[in-house]
Amino acid sequence: SRQAQAVTLIELNPTAFKQLEHNIAALNATNLRAINSDALAFLKQQGTPHHLVFIDPPFRQGLLSEAVSLLEQNGWLADEALIYIETEKELALEGIPANW
C-alpha cells in the first residue's frame, strides 16, 4: 500500500474491522480506508476503477461468482486491472470473465 494512491479494505466482521482501523491509525496510513460492510452489498454500488483487486471471500459459501460479476458490471475495474483471487483449492473457477 505504500506506493498506492488509495486502498479500500472491506471487512464484514466487526472485530476484524476494528483491528484494521487500529492498524491503519498505527501506521498513519492516510491512503487506506476500511469499510465495515458486506462486500457484495458494497460492490453493488457504482464503483471507481481500481488497478489492483484482491478477492478473498469466505470459503465454501459460493460468494466468488457474484463478487466477480459485480466487479465487472459496476465499474470497479480499471483497464488492464490485476485481479488476485484466493479461494479453496478444489473450487472450479467458473463464471470468471474471459478477459480476466
Is residue 72 included in any domain, yes or no? Answer: yes
pLDDT reported for residue 13: 95
Q: Return d(Cα 70, Cα 76) in angstroms, integer.
A: 8
Cβ neighbours of residue 86 closer than 8 Å, sequence gap 6 or more: 54, 55, 56
pTM for the complete prediction? Answer: 0.80
- Segments forming the whole domain that contains residue 58: 7-85
The confidence score (pLDDT) of residue 97 equals 73
One pLDDT digit (tens) per residue for the chain, 100 residues: 567 788 999 999 999 999 999 999 999 999 999 999 999 999 999 999 999 999 998 888 888 889 999 999 999 999 999 999 888 887 777 667 777 7
Domain assignment present for residue 99? The answer is no
Helix (H, G, I), strand (E, B) or coil at 15: helix
CA distance 50 to 95: 20
> Residue 93: inside a domain, yes or no?
no
Number of folded domains that form the chain: 1
Residue 61 belongs to domain with CATH number: 3.40.50.150
> What is residue 33's three-state secondary structure?
strand
Torsion of CA 57, 58, 60, 66, to 10 degrees: -30
